[in-house]
């Protein structure tokens, strides 16, 4: 068995794997890289005047990281352009926000070729390669063109839309065909896998075989659903740690006898934040007895500030939250605490534990680990209630949550009322089932399932 080579758009820097700011995905991949003596390659996040392909190496926590700088034009066309203005909205079903410009497409192809050229000297004959996410769909094709015969797997962390939506993408067949240069293509959910299979069957004239095989474009590859999990053991430990305890006490002091609903999201139109605020407004309107007894803490970390759609959603949320607070607030109660900053994972664990309800209502999400974090952070003796969008990938697994339609204000409002009134016995029963799933289907199980399936794939003929 050779080395594992992980390739992603961005790379988590090496360091203490138990650091509170290190995410579960980085921890799981780092463990696999140590086990297989591998390398993690990606963009440094920095730009340079002229692309040279120069590699920078770091080593920490037993992991070797190799990064490359891109040109400013690459960042604008590949990252801000095709990745985040074309593919991201399209794959989240928002074709109304997708921007199709030829320069974006050219930049996407150029950077994937540059990734292939840069990583090629690092590869050894027995390596196996794991490529991550929508930024790098064509990378497998570029590596094959350069003579790489190793096993190459691809995992999509975000949704895959129905074929009628996906075919609105110019050159959509070329992008799908590029996926057939991988040996294994993984999705978060059965729903995403089925949507991809439907595209292959109806648009590419492909066939679906046994054992997850699919044939199209003259090639046969394997497909699978590999729902990502939480680094449960580490997160539970963080929830019991000093920082989490301090934040829980801090939040409980600020509750002043009230009950808290919490939402934690990246500031993104796919997260359904405006719809969430409006549903909470509906709850306040229909439940006057809850006034001054409950509040919503919404943590929304800004991202992709250069993309116009993100500037627009931030402005709308500022307006909606201000209007709701202006309409309902009293001298000593603000119904929405809206915060635009990030918190460490151990701090979030303490905030989650202080909340009576975890409100996770994206309009579309590949998985959504906040739902699993909320469950893992709860007090086993007195857990809170998870309200979860039916359009989050996590809903396929977390059926004991209160599942809601995030497009319905009434549905979410009713769920908030039900969650706040839920008896302890029912909360315990639901939480115990949810927690069992979070433990069993953790990030290590996800990693091992994907790597195992990739290593079982037959090597391509030279």
Are 448 and 313 part of one and the same domain? no
Assess whether pLDDT exceeds 80 at residue 17: no
Are 251 and 111 part of one and the same domain? no
Q: Does 128 fall in a domain?
A: yes
Each residue's pLDDT tens digit, 190-231: 999 999 999 999 999 999 998 889 999 999 999 999 999 999
Assess whether pLDDT exceeds 50 at residue 21: no
Each residue's pLDDT tens digit, 262-290: 999 999 999 999 999 999 999 999 999 99
Are 192 and 246 part of one and the same domain? no
**Pairing of β 219-225 and β 184-187:** parallel
Q: Does 323 fall in a domain?
A: yes
Q: What is the pLDDT of residue 19?
A: 43
Assess whether pLDDT exceeds 80 at residue 453: yes
Are 221 and 106 part of one and the same domain? yes
Q: Does 462 fall in a domain?
A: no
Residue 108 CA to residue 461 CA, distance in Å, equals 29
Assess whether pLDDT exceeds 70 at residue 73: yes
Q: From the candidates 105, 365, 411, 442, give the one annotated as an active-site residue.
A: 365
Query: Which residues neighbour 392 within 8 Å (Cβ) at sequence distance 6 or greater?
Result: 360, 361, 362, 365, 367, 368, 371
Residue 418 CA to residue 385 CA, distance in Å, equals 9
Q: Does 192 fall in a domain?
A: yes
Are 212 and 239 part of one and the same domain? no
DSSP, residue by residue, 59-97 = EETTEEEEEEEEEHHHIIIIIIIIIIIIIHHHHTT-TTT
Q: Does 461 fall in a domain?
A: no
Are 250 and 360 part of one and the same domain? yes
Segment 127-139 mean pLDDT:
97
- The reply to whether 157 belongs to the active site is yes
Q: From the candidates 157, 172, 191, 414, give the one annotated as an active-site residue.
A: 157
Q: What is the pLDDT of residue 53?
A: 94
CATH of the domain at 306: 3.40.50.2000
Are 318 and 451 part of one and the same domain? no
Assess whether pLDDT exceeds 70 at residue 145: yes
Are 158 and 282 part of one and the same domain? no
SS3 content of the chain, % helix, strand, coil (to 5): 50, 20, 30
Q: Does 30 fall in a domain?
A: yes
Question: Residue 360 sits in which domain range?
Answer: 233-440
Helix axes 409-421, 273-286, angle to 10 degrees: 60
Are 222 and 269 part of one and the same domain? no
Number of domains in the chain: 2
Q: What is the band of 18 on the pLDDT scale with cuts at 50, 70, 90? A: very low
- The reply to whether 36 belongs to the active site is no
Q: What is the pLDDT of residue 239?
A: 93
**What percentage of the chain exceeds 70 in pLDDT?**
97
**Pairing of β 357-360 and β 259-266:** parallel
Are 105 and 146 part of one and the same domain? yes
Residue 45 CA to residue 88 CA, distance in Å, equals 18
Assess whether pLDDT exceeds 50 at residue 16: no
Segment 163-186 mean pLDDT:
97
Are 297 and 409 part of one and the same domain? yes
Are 85 and 100 part of one and the same domain? yes
């Amino acid at each position: 068995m050779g080395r594992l080579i992980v390739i992603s758009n961005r790379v988590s820097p090496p360091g203490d794997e138990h650091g509170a700011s290190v995410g579960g995905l980085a921890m799981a991949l780092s463990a696999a890289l140590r086990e297989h003596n591998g390398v993690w390659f990606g963009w440094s996040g920095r730009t340079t005047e002229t692309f040279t392909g120069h590699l920078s190496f770091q080593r920490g926590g037993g992991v070797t990281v190799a990064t490359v700088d891109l040109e400013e034009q690459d960042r604008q066309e590949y990252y801000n352009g095709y990745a985040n203005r074309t593919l991201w909205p399209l794959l989240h079903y928002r074709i109304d926000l997708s921007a199709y410009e030829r320069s974006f497409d050219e930049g996407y192809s150029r950077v994937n070729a540059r990734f292939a050229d840069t990583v090629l000297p690092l590869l050894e004959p027995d390596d196996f390669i794991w490529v991550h996410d929508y930024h790098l769909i064509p990378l497998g094709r570029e590596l094959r063109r350069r003579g790489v015969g190793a096993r190459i797997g691809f995992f999509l962390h975000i949704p895959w839309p129905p074929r009628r939506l996906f075919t609105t993408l110019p050159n959509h067949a070329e992008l799908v065909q590029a996926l057939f240069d991988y040996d294994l293509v993984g999705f978060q959910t059965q729903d995403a896998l089925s949507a991809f299979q439907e595209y292959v069957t109806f648009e590419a004239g492909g066939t679906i075989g046994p054992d997850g095989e699919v044939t199209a474009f003259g090639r046969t590859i394997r497909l699978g659903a590999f729902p990502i999990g939480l680094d449960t053991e580490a997160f539970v430990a963080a929830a019991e740690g000093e920082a989490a305890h301090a934040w829980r006490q801090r939040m409980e002091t600020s509750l002043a006898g009230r009950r808290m609903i919490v939402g934690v999201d990246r500031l993104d139109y796919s997260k359904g934040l405006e719809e969430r605020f409006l549903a909470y407004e509906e709850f306040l309107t229909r439940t006057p007895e809850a006034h001054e007894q409950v509040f919503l803490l919404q943590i929304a970390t800004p991202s992709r500030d250069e993309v116009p759609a993100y500037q627009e959603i931030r402005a709308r949320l500022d307006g909606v939250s201000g209007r709701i607070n202006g309409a309902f607030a009293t001298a000593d109660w603000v119904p929405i605490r809206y915060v635009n900053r990030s918190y460490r994972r151990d701090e979030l664990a303490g905030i989650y534990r202080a909340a009576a309800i975890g409100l996770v209502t994206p309009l579309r999400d590949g998985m959504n680990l906040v739902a699993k974090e909320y469950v893992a952070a709860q007090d086993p003796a007195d857990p809170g209630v998870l309200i979860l969008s039916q359009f989050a990938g996590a809903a396929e697994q977390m059926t004991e949550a209160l599942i809601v339609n995030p497009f319905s204000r009434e549905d979410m409002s009713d769920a908030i009322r039900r969650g706040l009134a839920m008896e302890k016995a029912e909360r315990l029963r639901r939480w115990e089932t949810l927690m069992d799933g979070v433990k069993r289907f953790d990030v290590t199980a996800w990693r091992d399932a994907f790597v195992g399936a990739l290593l079982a794939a037959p090597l391509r003929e030279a």
